[in-house]
Structure 1
Amino acid sequence: MANLRRQQYYYFFFLTIYILTGAGALILGNVWLSQAAAGGAPREAVISRQIEQAGTIIGGVVVGTAVFGVVGGAAPIKLKVILTSFIFMLIGAMLAELGLGGVIWFKTLRMRSLYQSQWPIWPDTLKIAFQDMTSLAGYGQCCGYTQFTGVVLSGACADPNQQFDGCEEKVSAFADGYLRKLNDEERYIRIRNKEGRTYTNVI
């Protein structure tokens, strides 16, 4: 009996981490979607609104399936069917998360061609955000994706006497830097979780 109780403690410890992961994805997804609704978030060039929606849904699924884990874990012998169902749900949620990560990774393999085809359909607010972005070191004002192509006539780009390079290099540099930052954030979170400390995601 004592051994079963100990196993339950371990089980609920990892279940808590599972719940926090889902809740984090749910909250972060909603924050990102609300920012996207306001328009002009450069992050959308790397993580599209569809991916943000998928991540939010997966976060909700994780939290929802965790209910079965809590109920089944409270009485694993009596409620064995529920616990077994949770295990299958857990595997499904993990596969969905891996699939979403794979979509983002494959997207990075063809960034330039992808952005060139997406630039024309991006909202003007997102294009302007890149054109006027000055926070990216080594990249100043730019207009359009390539020079004279897909220019949004706003700010400095509305001046016919000014000629700026296209934003192709800036968009690629931003995407690369953002993905590296995401990777660093995940690594720091894992380190702090091992040390028993919390970490605030600032992306």
Structure 2
Amino acid sequence: MVGVTPGLRKIYLLSVTLFMLAGWTALGVGAYFISTPFMRREAVLTHTPIWVAIGIGISMSVSSIIGFIVAFSRHKARTKIAFFIALISVILVITLCLGAYVWFQTLNVRTLYEDRWKEWTDTLKEAFQSNDNCCGYKSTLDSPAFSDTCTKEIVYNGLLSPCEDKILQYVNTYLRNIYTTLFLYTAVDVLTMLAALMLDQTLKDQFRYEKSVAKMINLHNISMSQDQQQISEPQMQMQMRRQNHISVTAPRRSLLPNASIHNYSVIHGQHQ
């Protein structure tokens, strides 16, 4: 008997549960980042990828509901699981693209942030200078933000180290954590998709099996009806022969008394 085994159902449910928890995590972290802006984080992570992460979290949460419905529903199960697989595919592509985008940024961090430092506001520069106890980017004279940490005396005398190495270390660590998390999300997506594909193949085999059984039952019923017709045909022929025999012999029996009466009357008339 082809069907969904308890082991396969358990694997599928575990993968969908993991998929749902990953979606909730992405949604929660994204909402936290949006609601609590942090100056140094904003230098690395803009609002656009954060909103993309929130969208991924919402999509994964909604898709997991469909995945759970598939596990306990037989009505149009294959249609639902095909839709679930399509959603996972879209989420997988978006997550993979976002992870690749973050990873490629790490390859050009030194040049990228050298240009960005010149575009940053004094408030953002001061956030790094005060936290890392540094001044300027490549040197204390490289576009510093004057403050209590980075005074004119410190700037012109070079009394503090520049911020370049500390900024690059912070950015690389932050970006590495982000793209590692995103690639872990792609692994969760792939695992869930494999479980869904296994369930889809099992449902497909079950559908074919049930269809073949129904076809065999239909053929058996047809053959049984044909056999009954073949058995009943001789009986019908015998019944028709009996009816024909009765219809032929019955008039002859009715003529004999009439002929006898007629002969008797003729003979009796001659004697008179």
Note the alpha carbon deviations across 1:8-53, whole angstroms, 9 max, x for none: 22211110000001110110111122222xx42x233333332222
Q: Which letter maps to 2:117?
A: W
Cα distance between partner residues in 1 of 2:125 and 2:174: 17
Question: How high is the sequence identity, in percent, across the aligned residues?
Answer: 28
Inter-CA distance 123–165: structure 2 relative to 1 (3 Å threshold):
same
Cα distance between partner residues in 2 of 1:25 and 1:184: 13
Mapping for residues 39-188 of structure 1, pairs under 5 Å? 39-40=38-39, 42-76=40-74, 78-134=76-132, 141-147=133-139, 148-157=141-150, 159-163=151-155, 164-179=160-175
Cα distance between partner residues in 1 of 2:75 and 2:116: 53
The answer to whether the 8 A contact 2:138-2:163 is kept is: yes
Note the alpha carbon deviations across 1:64-116, whole angstroms, 9 max, x for none: 22222222232155332121111011011011111111011000000011112
Cα distance between partner residues in 2 of 1:154 and 1:90: 50
The answer to whether the 8 A contact 1:76-1:83 is kept is: no
The DSSP-based 3-state class of the residue aligned with 1:133 is helix
Greater length-normalized contact order (CA 8 Å, ≥ 6 residues apart): 2
Inter-CA distance 185–87: structure 2 relative to 1 (3 Å threshold):
closer
Cα distance between partner residues in 1 of 2:2 and 2:113: 58
Aligned to 1:35: 36
- Structure 2 unpaired stretches of 5+: 188-272
The two structures have a TM-score, normalised by structure 1, of 0.75
Inter-CA distance 87–99: structure 2 relative to 1 (3 Å threshold):
same
Cα distance between partner residues in 2 of 1:123 and 1:12: 49
Greater Rg over alpha carbons, structure = 2
The answer to whether the 8 A contact 1:47-1:104 is kept is: no
Cα distance between partner residues in 1 of 2:70 and 2:102: 34
The answer to whether the 8 A contact 1:130-1:171 is kept is: yes
The answer to whether the 8 A contact 1:144-1:151 is kept is: yes
Tell me the C-alpha RMSD between the 2 structures. 2.9
Cα distance between partner residues in 1 of 2:73 and 2:161: 65
Richer in helix (by share): 2
Cα distance between partner residues in 1 of 2:84 and 2:98: 21
- Structure 1 unpaired stretches of 5+: 135-140, 191-203
The DSSP-based 3-state class of the residue aligned with 2:115 is helix
The DSSP-based 3-state class of the residue aligned with 2:162 is coil
Matched pairs, number: 179
Q: Which letter maps to 1:88?
A: A
Alignment pair present for 1:14 and 2:15: yes
Inter-CA distance 71–179: structure 2 relative to 1 (3 Å threshold):
same
Note the alpha carbon deviations across 1:103-135, whole angstroms, 9 max, x for none: 11000000011112222343444322211124x
